Structures are given as C-alpha cells and as structure tokens.
Amino acid sequence: MTKLTLGSHPYLLGFDQLERLLERNAKSGNEGYPPFNIEQTSQNSYRITLAVAGFAEGDLSITVEDQQLVIRGRQRDEAEGRVFLHRGIAARQFQRSFVLADGVEVGEAVMENGLLHVDLTRVQPETVVQTINIRKG
C-alpha cells in the first residue's frame, strides 16, 4: 500500500509546499521551552505570548522566514568573576517556530513583565471570480 500525501492527492493541487512546511515544523525541535500561549483576540487576530523571564529585548530576535515566524532568544552569560553557591537559573538559548498561513501578517511585539507578546492578523483577501473561455480545438 502506498502512502498518500497532500502533494499526491488528485484533488489537492499545489499543496506540496504545505506538506513540506508541516514536515519541517515537526522536525524543528520545538521543545517545551519557553512555554507559550496562543490566543485568538478577535475573529481575524491572534496573539502569541512567550514566557521569557530573564531575557532583555536585545537578547531576542523575531523574524519571518519562508512562512514561519521564528523567535530566538540568546542570553549573554555574565557569570565571569561570580561565584555561585547554587545555579538554578541557566542562561539558555531557544528557538520557537510557528508556521503562518497565507494572509497572516506579523504585527508588533511587546515585552511586558517577562512576557513577549507577538500580535498576528489575518488579512481577508478579496474574492475573485475568474471566467475561463473555452476555445474550439
């Protein structure tokens, strides 16, 4: 029995890119750090909130790469010359990726009380009806 994929299904034309995005996101290694929430703030807007306590704005970067929102954090280890009796707060880097659907745009990002909020909006495309003429062969 052959595996049926989105790109090979006869009624789903042009969805091979979506399949590649799903596979890449599954392999991206999104662990449980940092924890995050995704909330719908209106019918066409969303907010992703990441718990980034200990990170400064300069330690974070937000990019959109090939229909993916990528949020990276890299803390500077300022432990030189310091003696820790216990070190339970590690300077840890992370990368979180979120696949964006067509028409989803990234708005502003705000740092507030150790939380990074990233706002997204879905732009509603205009409905276009195209008539195809049939010519005689």
- CATH number for the domain harbouring residue 45: 2.60.40.790
Query: Is there a single domain that holds both residue 7 and residue 59?
Result: no
**Residue 38 burial (C-beta neighbours within 10 Å; 0-12, 13-18, 19+):** exposed
Query: Is there a single domain that holds both residue 91 and residue 111?
Result: yes
Query: Is there a single domain that holds both residue 6 and residue 67?
Result: no
What does the pLDDT look like over 93-105, one tens digit per residue? 999 999 898 899 9
Q: Residue 124, Cβ neighbours under 10 Å: how many?
A: 9
Q: What is the pLDDT of residue 92?
A: 82
Is the per-residue pLDDT at 26 higher than 60?
A: yes
Query: Is there a single domain that holds both residue 56 and residue 6?
Result: no
How many structural domains are present in the chain? 2
The predicted model scores a pTM of 0.71
What does the pLDDT look like over 36-49, one tens digit per residue? 999 999 999 999 99
Confidence of residue 54 (pLDDT cuts 50, 70, 90): confident
Tell me the CA end-to-end span of the chain in Å, nearest whole number.
39
CA gap 92, 127 in Å, rounded: 46
Looking at the chain, the whole-number percentage of residues with pLDDT higher than 90 is 50
Is the per-residue pLDDT at 21 higher than 70?
A: no
Query: Is there a single domain that holds both residue 101 and residue 52?
Result: yes
| Residues of the domain holding 115 | 31-122
CB 21 within 8 A of CB 68: yes
Query: Is there a single domain that holds both residue 55 and residue 13?
Result: no
CA gap 91, 88 in Å, rounded: 10
Higher pLDDT, 13 or 95: 95
Query: Is there a single domain that holds both residue 14 and residue 36?
Result: no
